[in-house]
Structure 1
């Protein structure tokens, strides 16, 4: 049927308007996260710009204190009721830099995007970060993030040292050799030990990388990774996307160092990019089984057609805006993540699929990552070499739906624990006390350190409200 230009214009306009996000209502002294599922009323919010201001606030405030950055944790890990909220996002300066030593010191509230914009001028890049560059560096340390970097693992592996404000207001340096118990407790410690303020990171070179992808049966992925990707120094980024709802196919995407000519000449992804089309595609995938089929059989084959050569820093500057739904009033997009030892990949995977299918979970994507063993953080999620399964899904916001999510989340945690694995703590706090203790057996040692450095339980958030007994 032939459509008039006016009709085509109206259809395109309707699609564009459908992808305009609703802005959440901002309430005074209410802290929420990206999911908008966890509004928390705090007593007051401060936005320091210097370490001196943070020290003064910690010393003078006798009640609870919580610490927030980009607020991408999804279970209240950045706030608790009636606390003084330290919003770190204006605490974002670069303090020192050495190109020769490949080292930079930054304030903890700086976003990765801001840091990469600076070091890109000197042909340098970060060693480890999460996929998206909107997070604050301090927040990334607090949850001990990882990304798609081949041969790497949690961010603790690239941190040289940091300064931290403890509960009594003392201001100390921590590193693997100086105040090392604070170092290993604060990284991955979710703000429970103190306020991380100034962070020194190791850097690496920026260079050209070329993308390649392979579609395969999931049953062959582990063998492929071990034979073709693992311990190969030419590979920089790698992940594999599992296609729902069949969960039988996976697309492995790898970026290798190259000297080939650039096909993308920009050094960084643009700050002001319009993600309307990307959001619409996400909406289609989340909206139906047919949308998921379209992605696997039409959209992705087109997307991965052609040669791509770009800068390493370009691949490090993704924006979370591309993941945002138009509205979170009735439904929202949420993450979960599970880690299993690499030799348990094939036994964990069918258990995960069984839980997702039997509970009709509306999975948008599952990304497989790889991480080397943690060097010693108390709440380590990589207690050995692991595969990570990052589940991105859509859920409704009703109490009934929340209860259903809790039920199948606990089933997934049990599946991971049965394979000597664990789950990631930055997401919704649905694990039972028993599951938390089994997944993080060093938690008691961490809590003893928290008691030592924070005897009056000053640093709090919903994670500690759920699992920390301050009276012990």
Structure 2
């Protein structure tokens, strides 16, 4: 069996330490997310497989209703106390498909990997999705995800239409031309308007891509992106990783269209579930400054030395399990994300770095992405063309640690606001009401639409518990 130099290096270190994740024991009717920081006791959990079941549950349940998928949001955005939890993961069929029109209609509980497996047979690919393929399509719409796709923006741009069941049990269609207010309130609306039951997505061609990378100073990245990546139609994927703890260098990684022979012949990443080596690499990087040095000076140079030519769909099927730690009992890995106008890149980065250093945040990685302006969702995070700063960090689970995170999170939000930027809502709910309203000025319009279609405030979760005041919408 052939093994890459990177995997050999990591495997040697791996033999010094076991790294098998322990699945948490979840009490009955307790909903949690991947961080295990937000256990929420609900009244009941149902897993519907038909529109009739969903409509009946909505019409007959007395009390709050919350909607969940893969549960990768990290602040309680899929549940609230004593709610009826609608678990959509078994609502996961392909409804229809057109190769000629490059369209597919699916139920929202389908995971992206399953969708890609279906369309790969026709050499098609998704236009926009997040890096990892474990998420459900409905969950991705609800948070209006983005990915590493160059020339794209939030996922709303690839959604043709959807069907949704409202608070009164009615099933309606929504698109840019039909029920527009529901269309733009539901995408990025965190399940506040109703339950999505079908989604029609626009697809694109699957193509061979070649990996390219270069290391540079952070101060030079913005100019590099504008001159080498932006508006370059041959670049499919791109991101740049800022190396902690000095945060002075980045590795820019692109996947460009190519006619070269494949170096990876599989069309989709194998779904083996064996990610021990990857997990150990993350463990090493999170354990100490020396571990971060090993990643920067040893792991990454070996990894990126190898030539890679693969299918676009292969690059779109990462499994988030590769990041899962051995345990989340005492500490956990968490994400935050900030969106900064392209022209404010150089002004924001030193502010961000200073806050992270002053608060001794155990940052594993900061990934820089790019997104075009949102076309009109009410809770739009990309009000203009932006760079996204995805901060992946490790924190303890103690009360004191949570309080510390809240403090520096609010500092980062203020730094983003100072540069006309925003923060992303799927993560820990630490922003003040004032910060939320400043970053999302159209939230008042969104809440009015929610009040219109959900007058009894059925659809709830911790995000709305924090910022939605029903009495003010009347």
TM-score when scaled to structure 2? 0.96
Mapping 1:153-172, distance limit 5 Å: 153-172=153-172
Q: C-alpha separation between the residues in 2 aligned to 1:23 and 1:227? A: 46
* C-alpha distance after superposition, 1:93-146 (max 9, x if no partner): 000000000000000000000000000000000000000000000000000000
Unaligned stretches of 5+ residues in structure 2: 1-10
Instruction: For residue 18 of structure 1, give the secondary structure of its aligned residue in structure 2.
Output: coil
Which residue of structure 2 lines up, in the alignment, with residue 417 of structure 1?
417
* C-alpha distance after superposition, 1:63-104 (max 9, x if no partner): 100000000000000000000000000000000000000000
TM-score when scaled to structure 1? 0.97
* Cα displacement (A) at 1:454: 0.5
Which residue of structure 1 lines up, in the alignment, with residue 93 of structure 2?
93
* Cα displacement (A) at 1:12: 6.9
Which residue of structure 1 lines up, in the alignment, with residue 81 of structure 2?
81
Which residue of structure 2 lines up, in the alignment, with residue 317 of structure 1?
317
Which residue of structure 2 lines up, in the alignment, with residue 4 of structure 1?
none
Q: C-alpha separation between the residues in 2 aligned to 1:13 and 1:151? A: 39
Aligned partners of 2:150 and 2:370 also within 8 Å? yes
Aligned partners of 2:42 and 2:83 also within 8 Å? yes
Which residue of structure 1 lines up, in the alignment, with residue 64 of structure 2?
64
Which residue of structure 2 lines up, in the alignment, with residue 5 of structure 1?
none
Which residue of structure 2 lines up, in the alignment, with residue 34 of structure 1?
34
* Cα displacement (A) at 1:197: 1.0
Q: C-alpha separation between the residues in 1 aligned to 2:367 and 2:100? A: 36
Which residue of structure 1 lines up, in the alignment, with residue 205 of structure 2?
205
* Cα displacement (A) at 1:17: 6.2
Q: C-alpha separation between the residues in 1 aligned to 2:14 and 2:379? A: 48
* Cα displacement (A) at 1:306: 2.2
Q: 2:156 aligned with 1:188, yes or no?
A: no
Instruction: For residue 380 of structure 2, give the secondary structure of its aligned residue in structure 1.
Output: coil
Q: C-alpha separation between the residues in 2 aligned to 1:52 and 1:289? A: 55
* Cα displacement (A) at 1:371: 0.1
Mapping 1:102-121, distance limit 5 Å: 102-121=102-121
Aligned partners of 1:16 and 1:276 also within 8 Å? no
Which residue of structure 2 lines up, in the alignment, with residue 270 of structure 1?
270
Q: 2:323 aligned with 1:348, yes or no?
A: no
Q: C-alpha separation between the residues in 1 aligned to 2:273 and 2:199? A: 29
Aligned partners of 2:14 and 2:277 also within 8 Å? no
Q: C-alpha separation between the residues in 1 aligned to 2:342 and 2:192? A: 30
Instruction: For residue 185 of structure 1, give the secondary structure of its aligned residue in structure 2.
Output: helix
Instruction: For residue 184 of structure 2, give the secondary structure of its aligned residue in structure 1.
Output: helix
Aligned partners of 1:286 and 1:362 also within 8 Å? yes
* Cα displacement (A) at 1:27: 1.0
Q: 2:374 aligned with 1:374, yes or no?
A: yes
Aligned partners of 1:150 and 1:237 also within 8 Å? yes
Q: C-alpha separation between the residues in 1 aligned to 2:173 and 2:23? A: 40
Instruction: For residue 471 of structure 2, give the secondary structure of its aligned residue in structure 1.
Output: coil
Q: C-alpha separation between the residues in 1 aligned to 2:468 and 2:444? A: 9
Mapping 1:367-446, distance limit 5 Å: 367-446=367-446
Instruction: For residue 66 of structure 1, give the secondary structure of its aligned residue in structure 2.
Output: strand
* Cα displacement (A) at 1:52: 1.6
* Cα displacement (A) at 1:59: 1.2
* Cα displacement (A) at 1:62: 2.2
Q: How many residues align?
A: 462
Q: 2:307 aligned with 1:304, yes or no?
A: no
Aligned partners of 2:150 and 2:235 also within 8 Å? yes
Q: C-alpha separation between the residues in 2 aligned to 1:451 and 1:416? A: 30
Unaligned stretches of 5+ residues in structure 1: 1-10
Q: C-alpha separation between the residues in 2 aligned to 1:273 and 1:403? A: 35
* Cα displacement (A) at 1:336: 0.1
* Cα displacement (A) at 1:273: 4.0
Q: C-alpha separation between the residues in 2 aligned to 1:125 and 1:285? A: 33
Which residue of structure 2 lines up, in the alignment, with residue 235 of structure 1?
235
Which residue of structure 2 lines up, in the alignment, with residue 449 of structure 1?
449
Q: C-alpha separation between the residues in 1 aligned to 2:314 and 2:166? A: 37
Q: C-alpha separation between the residues in 2 aligned to 1:17 and 1:139? A: 35
Q: 2:47 aligned with 1:47, yes or no?
A: yes
Aligned partners of 2:273 and 2:321 also within 8 Å? no
